[in-house]
């Protein structure tokens, strides 16, 4: 044991210091108790080699986007129900004003004031069209339900390119050096996100975060593209609040794939389209935030872009302390993770 300690001391005084696990490994290799320490050494090397990946995505604007501008779809549905006398540009301006007002009066889709999300969106729809067509029972009884239905499914949305191949190939072609993978969605939204993702062809686990903790446990043995969903309405806070990311960590702990692992063994990555809410929020929560350039409205000059030409470059950047980066697209993300995509199955 004295010899072992001496080796450690000598190693730490070298001009190029060894890493802690290298020091331990060499000390164990040179111990006279080769058999016992050989077993321990094997465990040390095994634990050091195993890394796990928790990768989560924002939903709206990152995984999926509207097929056509929201105002155009609102106008189409309203006209199909007999309303007229307005342009899509007028609907757009009125919608933005109504959304801003409702967000200020009833934050987090109404959760802050005990309002359900259906009422919250109905208020926005009514306040969008009331200035354009005047009071009408059609707004409440027909238009609001029709729009709520449309924006809960593939009628209104489309996946971004390469989303489906990436999520599926993460399972079949995991990044080099990654032992276990968990995929989640963290979104500032109400409870319609899982139904939207399912309608777009993703296999979405029923596991979600509910008031006070995890809600609905996923069946053991099932394989999903998305292992869990965290929605701000259920958490009670919105990104960039770190408690939203903490909820995702709770979700991870409830998954079968996390059984027997230590929290520190998980590399945590979050991909989104908004710098402040997604990248900065993730970084402040101890994750690596990744801004998706193809979906972002703006990219800070200071945000380094990961080199997609190097397989595994993103995970290497995380290992080297990177906590805020950008990536061009989902296909670039796949390459930077070291995942080889099969043909895009999100296209017809």
Question: What's 123's domain CATH number?
Answer: 1.10.150.720
Place 221 in a pLDDT band, splitting at 50, 70 and 90: confident
Query: Is there a single domain that holds both residue 169 and residue 313?
Result: yes
3-state secondary structure of 271: strand
Query: Is there a single domain that holds both residue 206 and residue 255?
Result: yes
Lowest mean pLDDT segment, chosen from 24-33, 179-188, 198-207, 282-291? 24-33
207 or 39, greater pLDDT:
207
- On whether the pTM is more than 0.75, the answer is yes
Is residue 275 assigned to a domain? yes
Query: 211 Cβ partners below 8 Å, 6+ apart?
Result: 234, 236
pLDDT for 54 equals 97
pLDDT for 158 equals 97
Query: Is there a single domain that holds both residue 136 and residue 148?
Result: yes
Query: Is there a single domain that holds both residue 13 and residue 25?
Result: yes
Query: Is there a single domain that holds both residue 166 and residue 291?
Result: yes
Query: Is there a single domain that holds both residue 88 and residue 14?
Result: no
pLDDT digits (tens, 9 = 90+) for 79-89: 999 999 999 99
Is residue 344 assigned to a domain? no
Query: Is there a single domain that holds both residue 58 and residue 36?
Result: no
Among 155, 189, 218, the domain-final residue is 155
Query: Is there a single domain that holds both residue 91 and residue 142?
Result: yes
Work out how many domains the chain is built from and give that number: 3
Place 173 in a pLDDT band, splitting at 50, 70 and 90: confident
Nearest Cα neighbor of 150 from 202, 204, 83, 78 is 78
239 to 31, 277, 282: CA distances (angstroms): 51, 5, 9
Among 120, 135, 155, the domain-final residue is 155
Query: Is there a single domain that holds both residue 174 and residue 146?
Result: no
**Cα separation of 191 and 118, whole Å?**
10
Residue whose tokens read 């397989």: 311
Is residue 162 assigned to a domain? yes
Query: Is there a single domain that holds both residue 228 and residue 308?
Result: yes
pLDDT digits (tens, 9 = 90+) for 174-216: 888 899 999 999 999 999 999 999 999 999 999 999 856 677 6
- Tell me the two tokens of residue 146: 């029709």
Nearest Cα neighbor of 98 from 80, 120, 83 is 120
Residue 211: CA count within 13 A, CB half-sphere: 5
Mean predicted confidence (pLDDT) in 155-178: 92
Full domain range(s) for residue 175: 51-64+158-337
Is residue 345 assigned to a domain? no
Is residue 322 assigned to a domain? yes
């Amino acid at each position: 044991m004295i010899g072992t300690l001496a080796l450690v001391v000598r190693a730490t005084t070298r001009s190029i210091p060894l890493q802690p696990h290298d020091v331990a490994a060499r000390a164990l290799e040179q111990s006279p108790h080769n058999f016992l320490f050989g077993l321990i050494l094997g465990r040390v090397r095994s634990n050091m080699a195993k890394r796990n990946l928790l990768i989560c995505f924002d939903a709206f604007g990152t995984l999926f986007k509207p097929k056509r501008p929201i105002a155009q779809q609102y106008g189409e549905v309203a006209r199909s129900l007999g309303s007229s006398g307005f342009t899509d540009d007028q609907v757009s301006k009125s919608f933005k004003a109504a959304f801003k007002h409702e967000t200020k009066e009833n934050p987090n889709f109404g959760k802050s004031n005990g309002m359900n999300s259906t009422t919250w969106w109905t208020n926005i729809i009514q306040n969008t069209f009331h200035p354009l067509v005047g009071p009408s029972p059609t707004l409440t009884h027909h238009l609001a339900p029709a729009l709520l239905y449309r924006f809960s499914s593939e009628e209104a949305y489309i996946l971004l390119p390469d989303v489906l191949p990436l999520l599926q190939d993460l399972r079949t072609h995991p990044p080099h050096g990654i032992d276990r993978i968990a995929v989640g969605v963290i979104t500032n939204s109400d409870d319609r996100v899982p139904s939207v993702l399912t309608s777009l062809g993703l296999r979405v686990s029923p596991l979600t975060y509910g008031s006070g903790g995890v809600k609905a446990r996923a069946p053991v043995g099932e394989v999903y593209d998305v292992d869990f969903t965290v929605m701000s309405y259920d958490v009670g806070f919105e990104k960039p609040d770190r408690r939203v990311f903490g909820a995702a960590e709770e979700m991870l702990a409830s998954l079968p794939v996390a059984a027997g692992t230590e929290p520190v063994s998980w590399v945590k990555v979050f991909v989104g389209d908004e710098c402040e809410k997604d990248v900065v929020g993730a970084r402040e929560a101890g994750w690596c935030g990744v801004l998706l350039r193809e979906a972002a409205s703006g990219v800070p000059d200071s945000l380094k872009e990961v080199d997609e030409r190097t397989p595994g470059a993103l995970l290497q950047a995380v290992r080297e302390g990177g906590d805020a980066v950008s990536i061009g697209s989902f296909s670039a993300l796949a390459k930077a993770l070291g995942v080889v995509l099969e043909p895009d199955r999100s296209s017809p």
